[in-house]
Structure 1
Amino acid sequence: MSSQTDPEDLYERLLDEGLFESEDEQLQLGEEFVSARQRFRKAIAGRDEDADVPRLGEYVERTPFSAEEVDDGTFADALAVSDVCETVDAGTSLHVALSLDRSEAAEDESHVPAGFVSLAGEEIESFLRAHPASIVYCWRENCDPCRAVGDHLADLRRDGTILEQFGLAAVYGPDNAEVLSEKYDMGGSPTTLFCAGTTIESRFMGNPGPKGLRREINTLAKNL
């Protein structure tokens, strides 16, 4: 990810520049972004031959992604992010677009706890570098233990056990199996990593229950 990726700073800029807007204390995509997204999707689909569409290579450059991994819809979203948010560079726009795609795909899933950011496996390392402590929750669908762990994590965030300084990430295991196995020694879901910077201090496979999760979170918080 580019040098623009301090998560809190990026979030504030996306909000300030209109990618998101708040309504009734709920975040939703801004009207300007939705309009730009529709315009670029139409252009990329070839229905607007006069549109000036940048090359995809400009967006995948200096990211861990290849052009083959980015579909037309995601590329259109990246173009819309760049169009609406003038301070966000091309590579960061692509990361934002991919995160939006994952978040929208997971809207019908209750596995991603409130306050957690959906990441691809390739994004974990830069996410860990950006936070003094992080929790990385790996899940899959049709998984009762995953649902239980997600609910426990949401409750622990809600009651203040999980501190605001923590980075909170959710990774969909089936789509990221290779990188999760090779870089983080994950072999199944749910798996929850507790990290200080880029160092994995501890992990749980399966559902340890709220007491087990609370114990590891409190241990991690002592080092902040």
Structure 2
Amino acid sequence: MTVSADAPPDGRADPEATLDRLVELGAVEEAADGTLTTTPAFESDRRVYRNTYDYMGDDGVATTVADLFGVDREEAHRLLDAGEVTTEDVVAYLAIQSFAEESLGTAEHAMMAELLSRIGPDTPVPAGVDERDDDTYRAFLDEHPDAVVTVWRHDCSPCDLMKGDIDAILGVVPDDVAVAGVDGESVPEFRREFGVDAAPAVLCFRDGTLEATETGRKRPTELAALFDDVYGQTA
């Protein structure tokens, strides 16, 4: 991310020290095995900004980049187009600013956003389901024209209830139909392409085309009937 002139000479804060600061602030926690995840409290703040900027469009994001980093809009668009700054960077920058509730040094703030853009919460996708993201869902669908893609979210009671039935749900998917899952909060491109903005959700693709979308908690018997309609009898 671009930082202003009051940053250190190389324009970057020390990553390890910044990570320690994120842990101290309660935005990141480290498991015994060294795995880093963001905390539910931080993700609550990040969700607010992500929901705003997912649908703001390039011009809105560029305006924010220009305001945050003191560049003109043309330079802001260039930074976004070149991938030097991403929407996720902007979301992380604003979220940690809100979460910290204190003044952050420019370089430290930028490094926090860089780290938080790469660190996320434990996935809400159930164990045993192939997880995909905005970089990989298209390859999955190209490889599997008959597929079921499930959408999950953190802090989602219906999602948690459906996870309790995941083995039974997988058991009623036809043998020749592939299954994947996505974290709904991390796949804005997927959601826009297929018009889904709720979780849990089940999307059924037949011959490469989206044939059905169901949202809300669905029990295995309900999904078995859905799969019969889309793919033919599973028995």
TM-score, normalised with respect to structure 2? 0.44
TM-score, normalised with respect to structure 1? 0.46
Larger Rg: 2
